[in-house]
Amino acid sequence: SQTIHQWPATLVQPVGSPLSLECTVEGTSNPNLYWYRQAAGRGLQLLFYSVGIGQISSEVPQNLSASRPQDRQFILSSKKLLLSDSGFYLCAWSGGLAGGTDTQYFGPGTRLTVL
Amino acid sequence: DAKTTQPNSMESNEEEPVHLPCNHSTISGTDYIHWYRQLPSQGPEYVIHGLTSNVNNRMASLAIAEDRKSSTLILHRATLRDAAVYYCILRLYNAGNMLTFGGGTRLMVKP
């Protein structure tokens, strides 16, 4: 069966510090991968998605970046964190099925607090 | 994804059925209706999806109106663990694999 891991589970970082969040998927190959952010009390916002190694699409302009160095590894980074980067970061994967039936499976999330 | 409208919150008693409505009046013929839920402090989880016919799985049932302009997620016997935010999302047939989450319905289950 497939599993998705995210770490760390929680993180407290000062403003201006760098960030690296990691997501890995097991039990599947060539998944679509996604990064979402959920601010406190708000809905989920898609940040990045990837359909293959080295292929990253950004949905919103921000000081974050994403990379996919391996098939089942997705990394979210920032060079300098802002207060507004605080939130719950979720990684997800899907099989990339066409036709509107694709299902996404989410990781446990990383709760980031920027002070 | 096309727009959906859901009530902000609903309340239910434990062990009673719950009907969570979703309006999607601008749905097109090839849009799939997906439901996800998000338990407190967790990532969303897939619940069910359908196109035209009603669907059942171990988690819930999805009832789709004949004109497809609305749908209802049915939890047959609510438990305290079903307290979550439920999201109704339309997936366009040819619009890629992204999910657009709206506000969802916060379901509260009373013991």
pLDDT value at residue A65: 95
pLDDT value at residue B94: 59
Report the largest interatomic distance among the alpha carbons of chain A, rounded to a whole angstrom: 43
Sort out which chain B residues have CB atoms less than 8 A from A97's CB and list them.
97
Residues B18-44 have a mean pLDDT of 93
What is the rounded distance in angstroms from the CA atom of residue A90 to the CA atom of residue A67?
A: 15
Nearest chain A Cα distance for residue B93, angstroms: 4
Nearest CA in chain A to B91: A100
Q: In DSSP terms, which residues pair with A21 in a beta bridge?
A: A76
Q: Is B1 a residue whose pLDDT tops 60?
A: no
Reference A97, options B31, B97, B107; nearest CA is B97
What is the rounded distance in angstroms from the CA atom of residue B78 to the CA atom of residue B18?
A: 7
Sort out which chain A residues have CB atoms less than 8 A from B104's CB and list them.
43
Among A5, A10, A50, A106, most B C-beta atoms within 10 A, so best to mutate, is A106
Q: Is B109 a residue whose pLDDT tops 60?
A: yes
Sort out which chain B residues have CB atoms less than 8 A from A102's CB and list them.
91, 97
pLDDT value at residue A100: 77
What is the helix (H) or strand (E) element at residue A47, kind and residue range?
strand A44-52
Which stretches of chain B sit within 8 Å of chain A by CB? 30-32, 34, 36, 41-46, 49, 51, 91-94, 97-104
CB-based contacts of B96, cutoff 8 Å, min separation 6:
none
Nearest CA in chain A to B29: A100
pLDDT value at residue A107: 96
Sort out which chain A residues have CB atoms less than 8 A from B51's CB and list them.
100
**Contact criterion met (CB below 8 Å) for A93 and A4:** yes
pLDDT value at residue B2: 59
Interchain contact A97–B (C-beta under 8 A): yes
Q: Is B22 a residue whose pLDDT tops 80?
A: yes
Helices and strands, counts by H and E, chain A: 0, 11
Q: How is residue B80 annotated by DSSP?
A: G
Ranges of residues in chain A whose predicted pLDDT is under 50? none
pLDDT value at residue B92: 72
pLDDT value at residue B38: 95
Q: Determine, for residues B30 and A108 on separate chains, whether the beta-carbon distance falls below 8 Å.
A: no
Read off the pLDDT of residues B47-104 as tens digits, 9 standing for 90 and up: 999 999 999 999 999 999 999 999 999 999 999 999 999 999 988 765 566 788 888 9
pLDDT value at residue B29: 83
Interchain contact A40–B (C-beta under 8 A): no
CB atoms within 10 A of CB B20: 22
